[in-house]
Amino acid sequence: MNLQRITHDVQQGTGPWLRLREGFDTASEAPAALGVGKYVTRAELLRRKHTGIAEEHGPATLAKFRAGHEAEASARPLVEPIAGGDLYPVTMSVEVAGLRLLASLDGLTLDGVTAWETKLWNEELAANVRAGTLPEHYTVQMDQELMVSGAERCLFTCTDGTPERFVSCWYEADPAKFEALIDGWIRFHKDLAAYVLPEPAAEPVTAAQVETLPAVAVRMDGALVVQSNLPAFGAALKAFVSRVPRQPSTDQEFADTEAACKALKRAEEALDAAEANALASLSDVEAMRRMVADFRTLARDTRLASEKMVERRKRDLKEQAVMSARAALQSHVDLLNAELAPMRLLPVVVDFAGAIKGLRSIASMQDALDTALAQGKIAADSQARGIRANVAHFQKSAVGMEFLFSDLGQLVHKAHDDFESVLASRIRKQLDAVVEQEIKRKADEQARVAAEAQRLAAEQIRQAQEAERAAQAAQQQAAATAPTPTPASAAPAAVARPVAPIPSPADPATLKLGTICDRLGFIVRADFLADTLHIRPASKADGRPGLYTERQFAVICGQLVSHVGAMAELYAQEVAA
């Protein structure tokens, strides 16, 4: 990319550096903007950018930052031999597509070819570095660093500053990833422009205090009189059941319902225990057992129904949220397709169901769906940008050649370089075919003209021969009736002179006298053609030799044959006399 890069004279980690970052989209924020952040979600970054309130780091985070800076300083001597030169920390920025992008590099060589990015040692990341499979959280950050700095590659290291804990791998600049980064930031700012600050975050959801049901007391005395508080317990149980949410829709209601189910489970267990204690005193009291069984059934049925309802409602809400996200993505794709018509985007596939797999709270599910939706829109925007570029190039380069691209709807999805190659190849083949056809047409035309000239020449010769035979017959008849002349009075025989044809406007004058001489194999003069053969140039400009037509050339050939034959006969008669 041909970008205007600015180097800022600030020291990283200082107050001026922090204030500078506030006016830019930074490389460390890029992963969150594209929805692949490891430590900051896209929703959190939208809120931070909207409010302008930066995150305040606690002592543990600040201590980690200090350890990272110390490891960076210790690792620099280990890195520079690999990088091939001294590395200097630098902060740079560019403006592209209306975006103000900033990158603070841990190091950059003086020639600007190699950048350096280092992270504090941890075993998981070290394994990724060894395998050369860095998570997007790191590669997206390096994409912005490489694009902003103009470096060709970045040396990524994971270390605590010691040789024993030091691993590295190379990451190359990729223009396609730069375009994806720009698309991601553009989509982020569109969402930021429409961002509305959500309601104040609620405290972590906990179940409301569950009403404690009365303790179940059943006792039997020796007179077989059952003494219990089952009627009061039943009334309290029924009241409790009536307060269990039937259609929970918020995290709070889900938590309350699940807590109620646990209380009902305890009520079932308490009824079982009370019944067992009563039966231990008296083997059978039918009325007590029926009452206990009824209350147990009520508690159990209510619990099971509530548990099923909770699962069903969670599933319903998940499905509604997924369908809503899919509809929003399809609406975005439809708008792009309407703009690009008759071209269309390839299907944009986003696994919304997979994005919320394993998430329990509604808030976390919505955040995951919003991030997946943003990534889908970024992918669609990237496709649309590529199609626009290809169509613009097609409209500029294939004027008059549109018939060669009946499959344009498929070709526009190719990478721009590949699309240009296909376009140029087909146009070049078509032009070559046209040239070949024109050469063949001219050759056929020349062959036709030559054949016509030969035919005309033959016709002229035939006419001359017929005229000669007619003249000879006339002479013989005259000689038979006239006295024989003396040799002194013999006169030359008349030579037949066919009248030269008048040039036609459709018969262009293109032959020079020299060309006619070359064809004949001997020299003839213009005055000889005019005075003797009565053929004058078809066109003649002032001060320039005249030009003859192909038809005149055929007549010249015939006239010459007749002239040569007549001269031969004339001088043969003189010799005989």
Tokens of 346: 């390839």
Q: What are phi and psi of 282, to 5 degrees?
A: -145, 130
User: Can you name the CATH fold of 6-193?
Assistant: Lambda Exonuclease; Chain A (3.90.320)
**181 to each of 104, 227, 341, how far by Cα in Å?**
17, 77, 26
User: What pLDDT, on a 0 to 100 scale, did the predictor assign at position 25?
Assistant: 94
User: What pLDDT, on a 0 to 100 scale, did the predictor assign at position 284?
Assistant: 53
Q: What are phi and psi of 7, to 5 degrees?
A: -100, 125
Distance, CA of 247 to CA of 125 (rounded, Å):
45
Distance, CA of 423 to CA of 411 (rounded, Å):
9
Closest alpha carbon to 370 in 383, 356, 357, 358 = 356
DSSP string, 434-500: HHHHHHHHHHHHHHHHHHHHHHHHHHHHHHHHHHHHHHHHHHHHHHHHSPPPPGGG--PPPPP-PPP
Q: Which residues pair with 101 in a beta bridge?
A: 25, 94
Instruction: Give the 3-state secondary structure of residue 195.
Output: coil
Q: Which residues of 236-273 are buried (b: 16+ CB within 10 A; e: fewer)?
A: bbeebbeebbeebeebbbbbbbebbbebbeebbebbee
Closest alpha carbon to 510 in 559, 551, 543 = 551
Question: How far is C-alpha 559 from the chain's CA centre?
Answer: 73
Distance, CA of 419 to CA of 398 (rounded, Å):
12
| Per-position pLDDT tens, the chain of length 577 | 678 899 999 988 888 888 888 889 999 999 999 999 988 999 889 988 887 766 666 677 667 777 778 888 889 999 999 999 999 999 999 999 889 999 999 999 999 999 999 999 999 999 999 999 999 999 999 999 999 999 999 999 999 999 999 999 999 999 999 999 999 999 999 999 898 887 765 555 566 666 666 776 666 555 455 567 878 888 888 888 888 888 888 888 888 888 888 888 888 888 888 877 776 665 555 576 678 888 888 888 888 888 777 777 777 777 788 888 889 999 999 999 999 989 999 888 888 888 888 887 888 888 888 888 998 999 999 889 999 999 999 999 888 888 888 889 889 999 989 999 999 999 999 889 889 888 988 888 888 888 888 888 788 788 877 877 887 787 777 777 655 554 444 444 444 444 445 555 557 888 888 888 988 888 888 888 888 888 888 887 666 778 888 888 888 888 888 888 888 888 777 776 6
- CATH 3.90.320.10 domain locations along the chain: 6-193
Distance, CA of 124 to CA of 130 (rounded, Å):
10
User: What pLDDT, on a 0 to 100 scale, did the predictor assign at position 572?
Assistant: 76
Q: Are 213 and 237 in contact (CB under 8 A)?
A: yes
Q: Which amino acid is at 79?
A: V
User: What pLDDT, on a 0 to 100 scale, did the predictor assign at position 170?
Assistant: 96
**Whether residue 342 has a cis bond before it, omega within 30° of 0:** yes
Q: Are 240 and 232 in contact (CB under 8 A)?
A: no
**Ranges assigned E (strand) in 416-517:** 509-511
**Whether residue 89 has a cis bond before it, omega within 30° of 0:** no
Distance, CA of 250 to CA of 178 (rounded, Å):
41
Instruction: Give the 3-state secondary structure of residue 210.
Output: coil
